[in-house]
């Protein structure tokens, strides 16, 4: 299982795609947080990173399915899936190794944003004045959203042997889970709206961003990851 | 008996891919799994390796039920799937070491076996190249090296020689002979010469049914008919040869005649008598070999 994990990481960084995806992600975030006047922290006047936390999920919606699309779809298209499936690795081990590799890439993409927090804290008045609890709550939220999207992306990749189809499907599922359910909650009446809202990822994210790490939110997101990884294993078993 | 397949059946939709397939293979022998395209060779192999599920029947590998515990037996089986799928972006050595890890080998063993397989398959020059850069023959060697890396007891190669040029073909055949050692070796092919060149046992399958299974020597002697070919300058008539085997015209009709007979010596004499009687100018009288090719055609087309 360890060797599959390392092979996945190597496959990502062994080609240009890996650097391209991570590079573009950081460039896009950098532009949003520091350069574009609409969203720039420097023009905003308050020492917080709200724009980072507001826009990263949008970028994630496209970025993570782009990383995860090849994960299983490519194996199936090229036939190497047969090598994996006839190996001693169980489906659970294969899915877990692939998921953990994706997760590491999400963490790698997010790590540089810790530097943003340091810069912003220096810009505060007095320097060092930053709502650290809010920041880490949000950062943890972002990480959990990324982890959930990775599970969703892997699931999308298991459904088809076409990478592009896996990407489109992944983007769509992430979009529905993050934005779609919240929008839907606004359209349905009464108590139902409350339940729909509770299912939405953005609701959980907003809750974590307040700086209070509520175990219900964490368990909800971990449950989502578990469900999507489980569904991935089931799909692979059927095929 | 290290592989025992019995009454294996598999249905794809309405098509019966395998119909009560039974055969066995024993250690130290190379078994050729022969059949025309679409006969059910790959399906059988995929079921043995646990990639596909069977509808009914049983597969025992080293005495254990392979259909019930495919993962348990995975380390005992070396498998080269049809079309030899490989990670084209990987380097040869890196890929082999990765495979060793997947099969749960210790890192010292991985290094030793990788070294050994690279040497045996003649990949020394290519070991630091990307698999995508290699020619088809070398890719095939990488696939075979991968299948043998974890030192399995049962080796299954699905059409390992398809699409190779004659030189590569001989190289891969020699490789198979060399690495087979005391393993149970099965490889599928639709080329008869392959089987004659390397196998001791032959299983012939067609339309999902086993048509013949046994040793190559038995199979050859079971072939009853000998082919005689007569060519003359004059036009021949089939009626002249009535009573001498079963005559038909060959490709150069009416100057060429092909005759199937169980008794070559008597038939040759009778033919020469006809030639003398009709005062024909003889160009040639050949006796065809009792090769597997004719036998294969008899078996797979006769039914």
Domain end position, chosen among B221, B241, B256: B221
Name the residue range of residue A169's domain: 2-238
Name the residue range of residue B295's domain: 224-301
Look at residue B43 in the predicted model and tell me its pLDDT: 93
Q: Are residues B176 and B274 in the same domain?
A: no
List Cα–Cα distances, A150 to A64, B46, B86, B210, in angstroms.
Answer: 6, 31, 25, 48
Q: Which positions in chain B touch A88 (Cβ < 8 Å)?
A: 71, 74-75, 102-104
Q: What DSSP string describes A212-227?
A: ---HHHHHHHHHHHHH
Helix residue spans in A79-185 (DSSP H) = 80-85, 91-110, 113-123, 132-159, 163-175, 181-185
Q: What is the reported pTM?
A: 0.84
Distance from CA of B105 to the nearest CA of A (A): 11
Question: Which residues lie across from B59 on neighbouring strands?
Answer: B5
Q: Are residues B159 and B97 in the same domain?
A: yes
| Radius of gyration of chain A, Cα coordinates, nearest whole angstrom | 19
Interface of B with A in 33-92 (CB under 8 A): 46, 49-51, 70-71, 74-75, 77, 79, 81, 83, 85-90
Q: Are residues B212 and B230 in the same domain?
A: no
CB A120 within 8 A of CB A48: yes
Q: What DSSP string describes A63-102?
A: HHHHHHHHHHHHHHHHSHHHHHHTSS--HHHHHHHHHHHH
Look at residue A232 in the predicted model and tell me its pLDDT: 96
Supply the CATH number for residue B283's domain: 3.30.70
Q: Which positions in chain A touch B88 (Cβ < 8 Å)?
A: 78
State the Cα–Cα distance between residues B181 and B184, nearest whole angstrom: 9
For chains A and B, CB pairs below 8 A equal 61
Q: Give residue-wise pLDDT tens across range A28-54.
A: 888 888 888 877 877 777 767 788 888
Q: Give residue-wise pLDDT tens across range A102-131.
A: 999 999 989 988 888 888 888 777 777 777
Distance from CA of B107 to the nearest CA of A (A): 11
**What is the torsional sign of CA B243, B249, B252, B253?**
positive
Distance from CA of B31 to the nearest CA of A (A): 21
The structural domain count of chain B equals: 2
Q: Which positions in chain B touch A85 (Cβ < 8 Å)?
A: 50-51
Q: Are residues B287 and B151 in the same domain?
A: no
| Token duo for residue A79 | 């036939």
Q: Are residues B216 and B234 in the same domain?
A: no
Q: Are residues B260 and B137 in the same domain?
A: no
Residue of A nearest to B91 (CA): A14
Look at residue B224 in the predicted model and tell me its pLDDT: 64
The structural domain count of chain A equals: 1
State the Cα–Cα distance between residues B184 and B153, nearest whole angstrom: 6
CB contact under 8 A, B74 and A15: no
CB contact under 8 A, A82 and B85: yes
**Among the listed ranges A157-161, B69-73, B107-111, which one has the minimum average pLDDT value?**
B69-73
**Complex prediction ipTM:** 0.84
Q: Give residue-wise pLDDT tens across range B173-196.
A: 888 888 887 889 999 988 877 888
Residue of A nearest to B104 (CA): A88
Look at residue A169 in the predicted model and tell me its pLDDT: 96
How many percent of chain A have pLDDT more than 70? 100
Residue B303 has pLDDT above 50, yes or no: no
| Token duo for residue A155 | 């699931």
Residue A43 in contact with partner chain B when CB distance is under 8 A:
no
Q: What DSSP string describes B57-100?
A: EEEEETTEETTT-HHHHGGGEEEE-TT----TTSBHHHHHHHHH
Residue B98 in contact with partner chain A when CB distance is under 8 A:
yes
CB contact under 8 A, A11 and B88: no
Distance from CA of A146 to the nearest CA of B (A): 27
Q: Are residues B232 and B209 in the same domain?
A: no
Per the prediction, chain A carries an average pLDDT of 88
């Amino acid at each position: 299982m360890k060797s599959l994990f390392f092979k996945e990481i190597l496959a990502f960084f062994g080609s240009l795609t890996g650097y391209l995806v991570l590079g573009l992600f950081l460039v896009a975030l950098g532009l949003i947080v520091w350069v574009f006047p609409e969203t720039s922290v420097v023009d905003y006047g308050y020492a917080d990173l709200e724009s980072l936390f507001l826009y990263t999920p949008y970028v994630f919606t496209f970025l993570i399915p782009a990383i995860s699309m090849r994960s299983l779809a490519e194996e199936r298209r090229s036939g190497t899936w047969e090598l994996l499936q006839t190996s001693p690795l169980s489906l659970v081990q294969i899915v877990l190794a692939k998921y953990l590799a994706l997760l590491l890439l999400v963490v790698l993409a997010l790590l540089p944003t810790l530097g943003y927090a340091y810069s912003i804290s220096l810009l505060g008045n007095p320097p060092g004045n930053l709502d650290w609890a809010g920041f880490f709550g949000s950062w943890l939220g972002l990480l959990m959203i990324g982890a959930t999207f990775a599970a969703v992306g892997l699931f999308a990749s298991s459904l088809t042997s076409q990478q592009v189809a896996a990407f489109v499907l992944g983007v769509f599922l992430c979009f529905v889970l993050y934005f779609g359910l919240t929008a839907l909650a606004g359209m349905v009446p009464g108590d139902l709206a409350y339940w729909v809202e509770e299912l939405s990822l953005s609701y959980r994210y907003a809750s974590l961003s307040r700086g209070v790490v509520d175990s219900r939110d964490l368990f909800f997101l971990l449950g989502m990851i578990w469900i999507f990884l489980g569904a991935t294993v089931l799909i692979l078993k059927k095929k | 008996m290290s592989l025992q397949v019995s009454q294996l059946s598999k249905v794809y939709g309405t098509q019966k891919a395998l119909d009560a397939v039974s055969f066995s293979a024993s250690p130290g022998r190379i078994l050729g799994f022969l059949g025309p395209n679409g006969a059910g060779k790959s399906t059988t192999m995929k079921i043995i390796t646990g990639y596909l599920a069977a509808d009914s029947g049983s597969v025992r590998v080293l005495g254990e039920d392979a259909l019930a515990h495919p993962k348990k037996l995975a380390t005992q089986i070396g498998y080269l799937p049809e079309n030899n799928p490989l990670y084209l972006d990987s380097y040869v050595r890196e890929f082999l070491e990765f495979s060793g890890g997947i099969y749960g080998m210790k890192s010292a063993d991985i290094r030793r076996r990788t070294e050994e397989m690279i040497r045996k398959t003649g990949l020394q020059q290519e070991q630091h190249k990307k698999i995508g850069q290699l020619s088809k023959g070398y890719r095939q060697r990488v696939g075979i090296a991968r299948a043998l890396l974890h030192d399995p007891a049962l080796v299954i190669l699905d059409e390992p020689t398809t699409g190779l040029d004659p030189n590569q073909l001989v190289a891969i055949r020699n490789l198979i002979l060399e690495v087979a050692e005391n393993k149970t070796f099965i490889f599928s092919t639709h080329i008869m010469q392959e089987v004659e060149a390397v196998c001791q046992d032959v299983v012939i399958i067609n339309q999902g049914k086993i048509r013949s299974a046994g040793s190559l020597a038995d199979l050859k002697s079971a072939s009853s008919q000998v082919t005689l070919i007569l060519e003359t300058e004059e036009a021949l008539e089939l009626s002249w040869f009535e009573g001498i085997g079963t005559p038909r015209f060959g490709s150069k009709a009416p100057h060429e005649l092909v005759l199937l007979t169980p008794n070559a010596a008597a038939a040759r004499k009778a033919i020469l008598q006809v030639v003398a009687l009709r005062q024909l100018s003889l160009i040639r009288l050949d006796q065809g070999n009792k090769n597997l090719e004719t036998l294969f055609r008899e078996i797979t087309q006769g039914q």
